[in-house]
Structure 1
């Protein structure tokens, strides 16, 4: 019998479940069992849960049918638990270091009470963790075991299930269970507090409560009127629970007081059937008001007295007076935004009133820089498989001359641009469309992304000021809300995107369409790419592709190219690809150096290269498809990971994290290419593990999968598991 059973309901937690489970399994206290219960929602969370169960014997994975809800998951986990105490942890939250040791120490010191309440930190959806009010209240209570009866101060502690350890004998002996709906957890928490004969507290933060973004249409939603009525019923159930247990009558008054406060707070949220709600609250008062209980007097007790006696008309008059006062205060702010846009935007508005064109798709890449990347691969495949859907590219005016022949395009701001953006059905981009794009019902937005994440992305950048320069996270979230599909190169990306870009978009785990050419390249294509770049037969070609650093304004080569080329000899040529954010590479003149910074096709550069040298660029994940050596040159890794932030340790040397040999200086890099270790057995083993993790869909059909799913509406065949 383990000391603790940690129960984790799993639902739509692909981006956060790993952090949750690792926070539990990495605790210094190990006498635990972890019971993860998935409710069948098809987002990949269940597969991630199975991964943990397969590698740690302390983890059990339970799979319930879709629709079980958090209450069903928690009840199922409690039924399976055999630990002395039950701890419920939301899959979006984490245990803080040392939490379980602190809990078990406190339980032992208090003589194993029925209930232990502990503290938590609250981390806003966008913000840093901060101590909660409950943590402060716990610090004001006595350290000794507390009798539940008469301790109304305990009712001010957040009534949730994840801030307490419940003795299993109490849970089973009192037949406790989570009820349905949004109030089931609150009532369970209050039941544990009412039924426990002994309670102790731990004024230490054990959980970080990570608030999640509310997603209308995806999150479980109940109309305010229905939710408020359900709250009345929920508290009626709690009071019946107390009545059925005569020993709990001393806690009836404080529980009724709490119910009164919450029911009164719920009144303003009721927009329809207010009379019915007031009557139901009045009936609750009559049925469960303890003998001798008196409502507060004076102004403080006015609203409780009115709702408790069912005086709907008087409450309405009070609401009218308060609304009039609010209206007078808000009057100066009523005059806003008289004209939304200029003539072209008004034209856009008119065009949005016309029917959508089901045979029109819009493509864009890299802020309208031309035809490239994942959108291009999808566009080409759509021409083959869905010829009835014509594609139009959005291209900046200064990039029009670079377009391949036969490409239909529009320039932003033109009359045709507004018409196309208003009436197209499908939208593909590897970055976000501008904020002025209004998504109409029926339009489908596909975010293809343009790299596998090594560096911190999206909302995770909030903790890295250098990486977040110029980012408006409110606007970012509005852009994310336009996505219907999020293309993923691998399960790692799916997990990161779910956390970095929380939204309702469905994941397309297809692989990156732009890499199809790498997976299916022929020898003739490779030779053509090398000839086009001037690489001689027999010459070793290395592609050097360092990444952009947000905290630098210009390209700075951390590799001494002249020194490196001299060391590796004239039979090696280095193609240097500076990041497109920079205006130029400023490279030395040398027959062994080719500046390919402006080359339009990174895929051709990869095909031509015998090996890749990079620091932290996502090109390493693409190049891995070729199964050719990757060498990491990382002279400023500690600076980069501290300032920019990363999601795994590229230099760890662990399989699945490091793709090959690693150098931190120019001389080390030269030695790797002169002693053969760049393509030696150790490097090949690392590359094999790296490809297994990041190239699971390496079959050259990623673009086809996207086209068939999005444009043709075909259900996909399973591609891989986590």
Structure 2
């Protein structure tokens, strides 16, 4: 029997769940088990639990067949617990380092009490940590073990269950279970504390309580669900009525009840406006029905509110709350003035357009900071034209890039009146990066964030851990992300990362990347056409070299000798070089282009055509590897500076251990791989298959259609993803060369 059982209920937390589980499994104390309860989570949380359980026998997973809520999910875990003590850990929170050892040692030192209360701290997206304001109540002064009567102020701690370890035989003896509802912690917390005879405290932060920006907490939502608090306190007082020996707690728990009701009333953003009076009158009824004889109201303003509630004087309470609201308004007047000033800077014309109705059939696209018509937005644009030709499609492009826009594409120049009119009035805004801070998200507008690659390098809030890689203002970043309605994901790996590093209230669409549809659906004719457009001779082998941006390098200096590479590979091999778009035109690349030994394709409009033309890809940390893998062709990872890159930028997995194919860390090693053909071997093919199944799982050629049907046509269910082994085989350049015109790609 383990000493500790940790019950972890799980629902829609795939972005945070790995961190939670890692915080437990990484503890130096190993005398524990995890009972993880998948509360019929609609995201990938259940699969994450199963993956962890396969790797660690201390994890037991329960999959519920229906969503039962937090309390009853905890009950399901509690029934399976076998430890001497039970702890509850919410699946978006984490344990601090050494927490379980500290809990274990304190339990032993205090003679295994019925309840051990330990400390916690709130953690925020920006890395800040706020201590528990009532941590003073956990000072280990006086007797090691005591009853609540000896330290009644413990009732003033937050009404939570996850800051305590409960002896399991005590839980059984006291008949403790979680009721249904949204304030289920209150009856459990109060019943356990007043029933226990032996309590101990641990003055140490053991839990990091995540404060999520995007909600996920009933306390941060406007809803009638807050009326659940009445049922929970009914349970508390029913328990007191059934146990005369606990009568001494009626007064303290009455005060807790009233304070809780007032908190719900006072906090903005909880009760709907049309429900406030009803809530107040129900609270007043509970007050008068349960007030103990001889009860003395607290002093000061709090006591005044008690009196208003006792008299059921709703008008008086409205006046009190209005005065408090006015004071808050005065405190924020400076900030409001600043916001108005910023809005004024946007221009009177934009302001006037924001007052006009949205144009329901207008879609505004942008890609790569309005540099081009490309990537996922371009693929969605094309599919929208096919499925919903009634929609008006417009692209935002900077003036200096307009000349490169394909014919037939309607353009508005960034900064023009037409641009601001489109930004203000388009029903839909689609981008693979964020729109500028000056863009206002209007009620009714729909923003689609497509992203532009699967992340190997750290992104979003994770970049805070690597300050050398960015000078980003993360508060502004999240405000931009708050505008998203949909986030497009190409695989579950990305979904988990996006939801954690961009913690905002959007809906994830696991559709695959629309830009990869052209790869998944390519025919031999498409491959031939792509090679012909680049002037590649029939039978010539083409390697596409695509290094990525490095924050610690000021310009594009390829980490290999391209001229030597071309010479070593011989005249029948062409090296296509595409520098990262951050670099623009490079004198170094221009010189190599003049030698004729390489072809600079940095300015090629569609990278997808380069993928189709190439026999193999040479890259480092670029997201190109994830897209090119759709073609199931060889990928060589040339990573001579892996240690530096991973330390400066941070990465989500070890590319040396989980590559999409062959790996070279020196130019000599790369040349050997290419010259010998070892880059395309059974071993590298096996690595590529594992990589493809992980990162190309939704890229079946129908991603753009899924996005259009869900976002623009309102279809609730996404098209099913074609099973991996049933997808079409995309011809290689060699196969395309010998293909008969009547041949069609077949399933691989």
TM-score, normalised to structure 2, is 0.85
Q: 1:31-88, CA deviations, whole angstroms, 9 ceiling, x for partnerless residues?
A: 544333333353333343344456655322222424x322232233223434332211
* Alpha carbons 1:118, 1:135 under 8 Å: kept: no
Q: Which residue is 1:244 aligned to?
A: 242
Q: How far apart in 2 are the matches of 1:519 and 1:625?
A: 6
Flag the 1:134–1:549 CA change in 2: closer, same or farther, 3 A.
farther
Q: Which residue of 2 aligns with 1:172?
A: 172
Cα deviation 1:161-193 (Å, max 9, x = unaligned): 111111222223222233444432134223222
Q: CA RMSD in A?
A: 3.6
Q: Tell me how far apart the structure 2 counterparts of residues 559 and 684 of structure 1 sit (CA, whole Å).
A: 25
Does residue 1:684 correspond to 2:685, yes or no?
yes
1:450 & 1:25 partners in 2: Cα distance? 33
Moved more, 508-517 or 195-204: 195-204
Contact 1:564–1:667 (8 Å) recurs in 2? no
Distance 1:301 1:126, change over 3 A: closer
TM alignment of 1:135-174, pairs within 5 A: 137-141=137-141, 144-174=144-174
Change (3 A) 1:677 1:206: farther
Does the residue aligned with 2:43 lie in a helix, a strand or coil? Answer: coil
Cα drift, residue 693 of structure 1: 0.4
Give the match's secondary structure for 1:162: coil
Question: Does the 8 A contact of 1:149 with 1:248 survive in 2?
Answer: no
User: Match for residue 407 of structure 1?
Assistant: 409
Secondary structure at 1:686's aligned position in 2? helix
SS of 2:162's partner is helix
Aligned residue pairs: how many? Answer: 712
Which piece of structure 1 moves more, 239-248 or 331-340?
Answer: 331-340
Structure 2 vs 1, CA of residues 254 and 640 (structure 1 numbering), >3 Å: closer, same or farther?
Answer: farther
Alignment of structure 1 residues 296-315 onto 2, 5 Å? 303=304, 306=307, 310=311
> Contact conserved, 1:121 with 1:132, CA < 8 A, in 2?
yes
Q: Please give the alpha-carbon distance, in whole angstroms, between the structure 2 residues aligned to 1:317 and 1:712.
A: 47
Cα distance per residue 1:607-661 (max 9 Å; x no partner): 222222222111110111111221222222222222212222222x2xxx32122
Q: Distance in 2 between matches of 1:183 and 1:464?
A: 39
Q: Report what 1:614 is aligned to.
A: 619
**C-alpha distance 688-191 of structure 1, shift in aligned 2 (>3 A):** same
Q: Deviations over 1:473-501 (max 9, x none)?
A: 33322332322221111111111111122
| Range 119-128 or range 50-59, more displaced | 50-59
Residue 463 of structure 1 aligns with which residue? 465
Q: Name the residue aligned to 1:485.
A: 486
The one-character-per-residue Cα deviations of 1:669-701 (angstroms, maximum 9, x if unpaired) are: 223223433122322221111111011134322
Match of 2:745 in 1: none
Counterpart CA distance in 2 for 1:519 and 1:317 is 64
Question: Which residue in the other structure is 1:124 paired with?
Answer: 124
Match of 2:547 in 1: 546
In the other structure, the counterpart of 2:584 is: 583
Q: Distance in 2 between matches of 1:44 and 1:707?
A: 23
Cα gap change, 1:678 to 1:301, in 2 (>3 Å) = closer
Q: Distance in 1 between matches of 2:27 and 2:722?
A: 31
The 1:602–1:283 alpha-carbon spacing in structure 2 relative to 1, beyond 3 Å, is closer
The structural deviation recorded for 1:551 is 4.0
The one-character-per-residue Cα deviations of 1:126-168 (angstroms, maximum 9, x if unpaired) are 2244654465653444583233322124334443111111122
Cα deviation, residue 514, structure 1: 1.0
Distance 1:380 1:315 in 2: 57
The corresponding residue for 1:368 is 370
Are 1:29 and 1:100, in contact at CA under 8 Å, matched by a contact in 2? yes
What is the CA-CA distance between 1:560 and the residue it aligns to? 3.2
Give 3-state SS (helix, strand or coil) of 1:466's partner: helix
The 1-side partners of 2:330 and 2:504 are apart by 37
SS of the counterpart of 2:627?
Answer: helix
Is this contact kept in 2: 1:5–1:87, CA < 8 A?
yes
Q: Deviation digits for residues 229-288 of structure 1, max 9, x if unmatched?
A: 765664464344345334444555554555565556556448886798489469637734
Higher mean C-alpha displacement, 669-678 vs 482-491: 669-678
Cα distance change, pair 235–701 in 1 and its aligned pair in 2 (3 A): closer
Q: Deviations over 1:361-400 (max 9, x none)?
A: 2221111112111111121222222222232111111111
1:287 pairs with one of 286, 290, 296: 290
Aligned to 1:519: 520
Counterpart among 711, 716, 719 of residue 717 in structure 1: 719
**2:637 counterpart SS class:** strand
TM value normalised by structure 1: 0.87
Q: Secondary structure at the match of 1:677?
A: coil
Name the structure 2 match of 1:505: 506
Q: Is residue 650–residue 658 contact of structure 1 (8 Å, CA) maintained in 2? A: yes
**Is the alpha carbon distance of 1:500 and 1:273 closer, same or farther for their aligned partners in structure 2, counting shifts above 3 Å?**
closer
**Equivalent residue number for residue 449 of structure 1:** 451
- Structure 1 residue aligned with 2:643: 638
Provide the C-alpha distance between the structure 2 equivalents of 1:210 and 1:354, rounded to a whole number of angstroms.
40
1:473 paired to 2:474? yes
- Relative to structure 1, the CA distance from residue 561 to residue 60 in structure 2 (aligned partners, 3 Å threshold; closer, same or farther) is same
